[in-house]
Amino acid sequence: MNNDDTIVAAGRGLALPMAAGEFAVIENIHGTQVVDAWAVSQADPYEYSAMEHTRSVNSSIFLEKGMAAVSIHRRPMLTMVEDSSPGRHDTLLCPCNAPLYKELRCDGYHRSCTDNFHEALETVGVALPFTPASLNLFMNVPVLADGSVDRQPPASRAGDTVVLRAEMDLLLVLSACPQDITPINGADRTPQDVGVRIVDAWPPGSAR
Ligand SMILES: [Zn+2]
């Protein structure tokens, strides 16, 4: 972990402003933590990362190194320029949410990536009346030949890092997924902290 890292606390969310050309270095400190991610345009919050267009533009159900998550207007928002993980980043499944935890028989309130998204945006004065689909970093959801989706613990390891370049001025919203009932965040079902830092060059020290 880098000393400059901001911590996305286990089970919590964070919104980070990024200028076009800046890089977000996201580190899976403990190895198997899923990070739900969104981009929201600073100029117009109704332009946000859209997984349906991202799959269409990339002809892929996973976001891989070299691919961009695009907006609802199919403009690049975040390009994955580095990935030390085995490269499984789900675009299919929804961010976890209150009805889902009710289905899992949680009594009372359970934190969710959906609530983290809206709470994080609120801290920077932005509100959206809906929840866009999330880019699920490190989330390992293989699609089988019969069309069914499996849900596996992440294949990433402690210290695995993805680097995303902002292609416009945007808010990067991250949620260290609070799911602790299924093993989607690892077999120990314990949400963990994630590290993130915004840098203006990648690799470090290179010219912009
Ligand atoms: Zn979640």
CA of 13 to the centre of ligand 1 (A): 10
CA of 204 to the centre of ligand 1 (A): 31
Residues lining ion ligand 1 (Cβ < 5 A) are 96, 113, 177, 179
Instruction: Answer yes or no: are the C-beta atoms of 12 and 175 closer than 8 Å.
Output: yes
Which tens digits make up the pLDDT trace of 30-68? 999 999 999 999 999 999 999 999 999 999 999 999 999
Residue 162: strand, helix, or coil: strand
Quick one: pLDDT at residue 206? 82
Which tens digits make up the pLDDT trace of 138-161? 999 999 999 999 999 999 999 999
Instruction: Answer yes or no: are the C-beta atoms of 189 and 180 closer than 8 Å.
Output: yes
Structure tokens of 148? 């069914």
Residue 2 pLDDT greater than 80, yes or no: no
Say how many Å lie between the first and final Cα of the chain, rounded: 23
Mean pLDDT, the chain, rounded, equals 96
CA of 37 to the centre of ligand 1 (A): 10
What is the number of H-type helices and E-type strands within the chain?
3, 10
CA of 188 to the centre of ligand 1 (A): 16
CA of 97 to the centre of ligand 1 (A): 7
Confirm whether pTM is higher than 0.85.
yes
Q: How many residues does the chain have?
A: 208
CA of 136 to the centre of ligand 1 (A): 9
CA of 135 to the centre of ligand 1 (A): 11
Spatial separation of the C-alpha atoms in residues 34 and 178, rounded to whole Å: 9
Break the chain into its structural domains and give their ranges: 6-141+152-199
Instruction: Answer yes or no: are the C-beta atoms of 177 and 35 closer than 8 Å.
Output: yes
